[in-house]
Structure 1
Amino acid sequence: MYEWNFEPGLIANLALIAGGYALCVTGPLRRFFPGSAPPTPVQVRLFYVGWVVLFIALASPIDSLASYLLTMHMLQHLLLAMVAPPFLLLGLPRWVLRPIMRVPGAYPVGSFLTNPVVVFFAFNAVFALWHVPAYYDLALRDERIHILEHVMFFVVGVLSWWPICSPMDELPSAHPLMQTAYLFFMSLPTTIIGALIAFAEAPLYPFYALRPRLWGVSLGDDQQLAGLIMWVPGSLIYFAVLTVVFIRWLNREDGDELRLEVRG
């Protein structure tokens, strides 16, 4: 119940992410990337913060507890889709993914997949679909489906943060005003889904009704708290980043106006 998840495939993939970064970004393979330069210490720290969040979400007891508490499963989903991806993206130097653009067709596909409108609908469709009770319970009962669910959350999570913190000049971040609108609308579906779960009068996920109750938390309280976790922290993440983006944009606009006045 409180076990760490050291499943070989999971650990191999986590090690590949951390090892690939160490070799290609901070290590000896960097010289094979055109235009490469040493990453800043902040970039390295941000990437490894994202990696640690990913490790905690998938390998810590949060993963095993998610089989008993909807609250823990919801927390796991937020870490996978909304917390780890932006840190990982911010930790990537702008040159590291550039070779991908040499692949025929990579640019139009990448441009489509990172379009704010496309990723808005893709992320929220995936997020909503996997919280439909039938699919949610299926993922909990079948480990292969559960892995697919987590992979999809992480992939659409990365894409959803691309318009905010793109690591590539070829597929840049959106304009700050677009980012502000995008982050506002991204907060709405998690708010709606979280509220529906929190205020549901009957248990939504039969799987948890058959599991032993932990820490004296009832089935109803667990479901309500899980909905609140999606609703409140999920929305606050977007609003916190929205605030930062908007303030930085205002400061830059004020700085540009001041420079124009000085030159005039």
Structure 2
Amino acid sequence: MCKSWQAGVVVFAANPQIWRFQFHPEVWILIAGVLLLARYAVKVIAPNFVEPNEEIYTRKNFFAFWAALFALWFASDWPMHDISEEYLYSVHMVQHMIISLIVPPLLLTALPVWLTKAIFGTFSGDRTFTKRISNPIAAGVCYNLIVIVTHLPFAVNYSIESGAFHYFLHLAVFVSSLWMWLPIINPMKEYRISLPTQMVYLFLMSVVPTVPAGFLTFAGGALYDAYDHQVRLWGIDITTDQQLAGLVMKLAGSIYLWVWIAARFFQWSRRNQPEMVLVETKAENTKV
């Protein structure tokens, strides 16, 4: 992506060679760093916290880790990174959905309990930090603020101009999303909020994104100058691109969260079924 000035206004121009391969060493350095940290945790940290007869990680941890790593690479490397940054904001939205809704829950699922306790330092007996960081109100507010800020025109346009700001926004999206999911998928189950509260919490997380999604879907013109250029991938014009981005954010994001809500509802129903049967039995005995 390059830019020029015309009559004091920034004009963005995309490279016409859309499918040219672009190597992103920072992505592979990140992946390699995560792998090295995982190996260090298993080989060096684990012996200090895991008993000899206990398993260091489960199959669930293993597959969730590799799934999270693959999703992170897929969203960050060529071609998704380049298409989302230079050509289609709708692909940029898909990228953000992966970074915020797919990778964080997988990564939290990949964390063994002993490693989570080691990270939060709860083996020392001080649980204040863990309680504070597991606060759903703070996590939810932070996540939704980042969602709103990252879709403001000046933030989107400047992230295309500045590589450093671009990576800062992605880091902010990832960290805030990881925090948002923590009250639900904390490996230390005692710090999770109750299942009914989880359902309400996830519902609220699906409400705020409808605001930027609405602007994207019903905007009459280009909201982001960085994507308003002549090079159109697959012939998708700027208005259609924005509408697709809004639909991805609203429909795909909401449906995904509602699947989580439904799963939590059935889980809560199964847990309470014996109590409901007991209450019904007592009621029948009372009638007799």
Q: TM-score, normalised by structure 1?
A: 0.90
Alignment equivalent of 2:68, drawn from 30, 33, 50 = 50
Q: Which runs of 5+ in 2 are unaligned?
A: 1-17, 282-288
1:189, distance to aligned residue in structure 2 (A): 1.2
Cα distance in 2 for residues equivalent to 1:75 and 1:4: 20
Question: What do the CA deviations read for 1:94-138 (whole angstroms, capped 9, x no partner)?
Answer: 111212333899743442232111111100001101101011111
Report the 3-state secondary structure (helix = DSSP H, G, I; strand = E; otherwise coil) of the residue aligned with 1:189: coil
Question: What do the CA deviations read for 1:198-229 (whole angstroms, capped 9, x no partner)?
Answer: 11111100111135111111111111111111
- Tell me which residue corresponds to 1:157: 177
CA change 1:158–1:90 in 2 (3 A) is same
- 2:96 pairs with 1:77: yes
- 2:37 pairs with 1:20: yes
1:141, distance to aligned residue in structure 2 (A): 1.0
Report the 3-state secondary structure (helix = DSSP H, G, I; strand = E; otherwise coil) of the residue aligned with 1:88: helix
Cα distance in 1 for residues equivalent to 2:179 and 2:19: 32
Cα distance in 2 for residues equivalent to 1:231 and 1:261: 41
Look up the equivalent residue of 2:264 and give its one-letter code.
V
Cα distance in 2 for residues equivalent to 1:128 and 1:78: 14
Checking the alignment, whether the CA contact within 8 Å between 1:68 and 1:208 is kept in structure 2 is: yes
Checking the alignment, whether the CA contact within 8 Å between 2:60 and 2:109 is kept in structure 1 is: no
1:29, distance to aligned residue in structure 2 (A): 4.8
Q: Which runs of 5+ in 1 are unaligned?
A: none
Report the 3-state secondary structure (helix = DSSP H, G, I; strand = E; otherwise coil) of the residue aligned with 2:115: coil
Report the 3-state secondary structure (helix = DSSP H, G, I; strand = E; otherwise coil) of the residue aligned with 1:204: coil
Report the 3-state secondary structure (helix = DSSP H, G, I; strand = E; otherwise coil) of the residue aligned with 2:207: helix
Seq. identity, %: 27
Cα distance in 2 for residues equivalent to 1:63 and 1:164: 29
Q: TM-score, normalised by structure 2?
A: 0.83
CA change 1:85–1:2 in 2 (3 A) is farther
- Tell me which residue corresponds to 2:136: 116
Alignment equivalent of 1:201, drawn from 220, 242, 249 = 220
Cα distance in 1 for residues equivalent to 2:127 and 2:173: 23
Cα distance in 2 for residues equivalent to 1:260 and 1:110: 37
1:87, distance to aligned residue in structure 2 (A): 0.8
- Tell me which residue corresponds to 2:233: 214
Cα distance in 2 for residues equivalent to 1:10 and 1:91: 20
Checking the alignment, whether the CA contact within 8 Å between 1:120 and 1:186 is kept in structure 2 is: yes
CA change 1:173–1:205 in 2 (3 A) is same
Question: What do the CA deviations read for 1:139-171 (whole angstroms, capped 9, x no partner)?
Answer: 11100000000000100111111111112256x
Alignment equivalent of 2:49, drawn from 33, 56, 62 = 33
Checking the alignment, whether the CA contact within 8 Å between 1:203 and 1:219 is kept in structure 2 is: yes
Question: What do the CA deviations read for 1:17-41 (whole angstroms, capped 9, x no partner)?
Answer: 233224424x565213345633221
Look up the equivalent residue of 1:11 and give its one-letter code.
W
- Tell me which residue corresponds to 1:248: 267
Cα distance in 2 for residues equivalent to 1:250 and 1:169: 18
1:16, distance to aligned residue in structure 2 (A): 1.7
Moved more, 96-105 or 73-82: 96-105
Cα distance in 1 for residues equivalent to 2:140 and 2:105: 15
Question: What do the CA deviations read for 1:52-80 (whole angstroms, capped 9, x no partner)?
Answer: 11110101310000121101111111111
